[in-house]
Amino acid sequence: MLDEFFSPESKVLEITKSRSLDEDAVEISVGDTLTHLAEFRMTPANQPEMVRRTSEALDTAMEVAPGLLSATFHRSVDGTRMYNYGQWTSEDAFKNLEKQPGFGKEAPYWEGLARNEFHLYRVVHVLSSD
């Protein structure tokens, strides 16, 4: 039944940069916030530069995107991937960042280093161990 899906991959990830508007971590909850998940695929030789660029891009995004609540970049230990997890106040806030230099389709900060695929989500259920 699941054979129409890709085989699962297992990656070990390390956080390379994380920023939040609030000192505390942004709580994941059902509600109006928007979540984006981005996957960057690259060669291992490109990952160090990609880590540097994502660090700069996150600092810039936190300054120019008022609806960005938090974002965290992770790198895979094998060097082939980076992931970005972000929380936004709205889809409009996310789309406004895409209008900023380095974040849209023209000359994005990852150009020449990685392929990027991202999707937007709404949290529909949270299960806590509390």
**Mean pLDDT for the chain?**
87
Report the predicted TM-score, pTM, of the whole model to 2 decimal places. Answer: 0.83
Q: Which residue has the higher pLDDT, 51 or 104?
A: 51
Instruction: In whole angstroms, give the CA distance from residue 35 to residue 69.
Output: 10
Task: Give the model's confidence band at 130: pLDDT under 50 very low, under 70 low, under 90 confident, else very high.
Answer: low
Instruction: Provide mean pLDDT across the span 48-70.
Output: 93
Between 47 and 12, whose confidence is greater? 47
77 confidence band (pLDDT: 50, 70, 90): very high
What pLDDT, on a 0 to 100 scale, did the predictor assign at position 79?
Answer: 94
Contacts (Cβ under 8 Å, ≥6 apart) of 108: 102, 116
Query: Which of 21, 18, 79, 77 has its CA nearest to residue 47?
Result: 79
- CA 85, CA 94: separation in Å to the nearest integer? 13
Domains and CATH numbers, the chain: 10-121 (3.30.70.100)
Best CA proximity match to 32, nearest among 81, 91, 111: 91
pLDDT, position 7: 61
